Amino acid sequence: MPELPEVETVRRSIAPHAVGRTIERVKVNLPGMVKGCEITYLTDNIIGKEIKRIDRRGKFLLLRLSQGYTLVVHLGMSGRFYYAGEEPYGGFPKHTHVLFLLNDGGFLVYNDPRRFGRINLCRQPEKEVSAIRLMGPEPLGNSCTMDYLRDELKKRRGKIKQLLLDQNLIAGIGNIYADEILFDACIHPERSGQSLTPLETARLFQSIRRVLNQGVRHRGTTISDYVDGRGVPGEFQKHLKVYGREGEPCSVCASEIQRIRVAGRSTYFCPVCQCLEQGKGSEGD
DNA sequence: TAAATCCTGTCA
DNA sequence: TGACAGGATTTA
């Protein structure tokens, strides 16, 4: 579910209810969701800590706690992380795996039907969590420059769609936004990254920033599961140009949107706007 | 580089 | 009943 815009929206919507609060109790219903540290380490050390700040790195939420601890949360494919002012009548929903009771009587709720997510407590996530350690720059930050993108595309192999999904190249892009970015940049998802012309690389760079910013502005994309930190769905699904639109007319040229499989993922594109031969050098991949 | 894997839920 | 789903890691 959650890509950069969704995780960023969760961060922003949860912060007003969590920052400044203290974690009074923690309840782990499904021990398997705690990965990367011992459960007892988490439960023993998190009690009494104040949530000082909430950061995001790629698709990770980082809850900075007092005394140097960080609660690391990844939502996987179907995870939800939200604030609830009180326990709902009839109890928390199915698949609520971890609960944090705050000192205002509210809860931070971690719910994940497919269990692909993870939670752990550590002191230096940027060093201890390898996915974060190896992660590429933030596409909406200053460290991700066009020069960086051009140089990386030059040395990597593979299709551009797959490269956009690689968190070690650029952090936070997932299947929906990769397709929307490539449509915005008029680049076929199966083009090899190395074959992009300087002009196309420049377009891609702009499209990454533009589309992700749009996603954040519309508070994320809700296809089915995703809700923000207060349980509110996003709006960007109303603005998707290609993702999930197989067979529908392209909003630009009215050609039928196609669906293919790239790197094991469903991939939607316009065969005319994103022509495979556009600016193509020679090779395939 | 691709496919299998971890899971449950939903839809055709 | 089978295919597929917003992710990431492991394996062949």
- Positions in chain B where some atom is under 7 Å from a protein CB: 1-10
A:25-54 Cβ neighbours of strand C under 7 Å: none
Q: What pLDDT is attached to residue A285? A: 36
- Cα-flanking dihedrals φ and ψ of residue A47, to 5°? -65, 135
Q: From the alpha carbon of A192, which nucleotide's C1' atom is closest?
A: B1
Higher pLDDT, A206 or A277: A206
- Residue A53, pLDDT above cutoff 70: yes
Distance measured from the CA of protein residue A249 to the C1' of nucleotide B6, in angstroms: 36
Q: Which token pair is A125?
A: 């996530």
pLDDT recorded at residue A280: 46
Q: Among all chains, which residue has been given the structure tokens 């969704």?
A: A6
pLDDT in tens, A210-237: 999 999 999 999 988 788 999 999 999 9
Give the closest residue to C9 (Cα–C1′).
A131
Domains of chain A as residue ranges with CATH: 4-133 (3.20.190.10), 146-269 (1.10.8.50)
Q: What is the pLDDT of residue A279?
A: 55
User: Tens of pLDDT along A193-215?
Assistant: 999 999 999 999 999 999 999 99
Residue A155 buriedness (CB in 10 A; 0-12 / 13-18 / 19+): exposed
Percent of chain A topping pLDDT 70? 97
Q: Report if CB A155 to strand B is under 7 Å.
A: no
Tell me which residues of A are annotated as active site: 2-3, 59, 265
- A213, A140 in Cβ contact below 8 A? yes
